[in-house]
Chains A and B, each alone.
Chain A
Amino acid sequence: MQDINYSGNHLDDKEFRIKVSTGGDINNATGNAIVGEMFLETGASPAFYIAAGTSTMEDSFIYKIADITEI
């Protein structure tokens, strides 16, 4: 996915981000998601996600907030 915005800082020596990534496949974001990062999945079935935890080697914590429907 492509980063389209970024703002981050460290708290207690941990990295936090407000960042929005876009792309057609949310699975491409599972390897390096940072807590707080948001993901806009584009394509035929767009959806909005957020990482509730920072990805590890074994797991990622990306959750769907909502499917996006056209107004």
Chain B
Amino acid sequence: MPETRNMTFADREEYGKLRDAVRRFNLKELSPVASDCDEREAFPVDVLRKAASLGYVGPHLPEQYGGSGDYYAKAVVYEENCRVSFGYNLSLNASDLLFANNVARHGSEEQKQRYLPPVIRGEKIGCWALTEPDAGSDALSITTTWQKDGSNYLIQGRKTFITNAPIADFFIVIARKPGSSKVDGGCAFILERGMKGLETGKPFKKLGGRCSPTGEIVLDGVRIPKDQLLGTEGSGFRDMFLSLDVERSYTPLSSIGLAQACLDEAVEYAKQRKQFGKSIAEFQLIKEKLAVMSAELEVARRYVYYLIELVAQGKRVSKEASIAKLFASNMVNKAARETIQIMGGYGYMREYKVERYFRDAKLLEIGAGTSEIQKLIIAKELLK
């Protein structure tokens, strides 16, 4: 294929090869356990370890800690994972992007050496904790606090809806200085399971992403040495907003992978299913559904890859990330709905994968910033 100006990294031969390799791995290793893990609400940690041995965990992280320093590879792996198990990728992502990328971006050399290699090897799992019972979209209203206590910090508060909290070994916790209300009082800390005062709850019962354990973290006077501070005192919120742009840029790839999975199922079913003496793919109302799904998916995929190009170049992507997330999450919810519609009663059964895809898709309009928040961000950038 000749190089054209419309090509993105995803068209380059090595990323095509990577996509094939990850697809093959996922079909053999992840796909056979995906529905069962969803049913049992259990994270497939063996698959994570195997994937890690192939460099599929944390490919965006720096090479000296075991990554490949490749933001494009992360995107390809991300999409392919979600094509098979959204929940698996949700947990993997909380570990190697939310936790580890923040350590890589803002951590000290000692912190990087301690926390990145075991996460990249899949031996340890990380998580990142901002949301609280009374603070979600309004991130600055968190009430978890930090205080200086000699050469230590003392952390008090409660986090909830935290991906991986029940299984994580490492935690990044965002807290604020008591009495401060603005952006300056924020700090991020790295905590480890086993620290006195840190407890995690049972996994929540969720609509989707069920193989990814979500739960709360109770921080009851956790006392930690000062080298557990991530970044500098007061930089917590600012660092976080920068990282959130990267996170929001990858999230739409979940929508792309899931929508591709829906389209694959819908096309296959429409060709096989016979009614009124012919395959339902011959009916125009079914054709219309397939065509619209494909058109919206391809347009979204191109935009998301363009966004990843910007991220890899280190560009500011606040508006673009929100556009991608808003559009792609809406697209995948439509795709999942239409796929079930095409499959009728079969689509509604748990025995078929699209029932899971439909439940999984909903989170994409909520997590990493709701669709409503994305609209506000886009408008804010427009009206600057």
Q: Is this pair of chains taken from one and the same complex? A: no
Interface residues of B (CB under 8 A from A): none
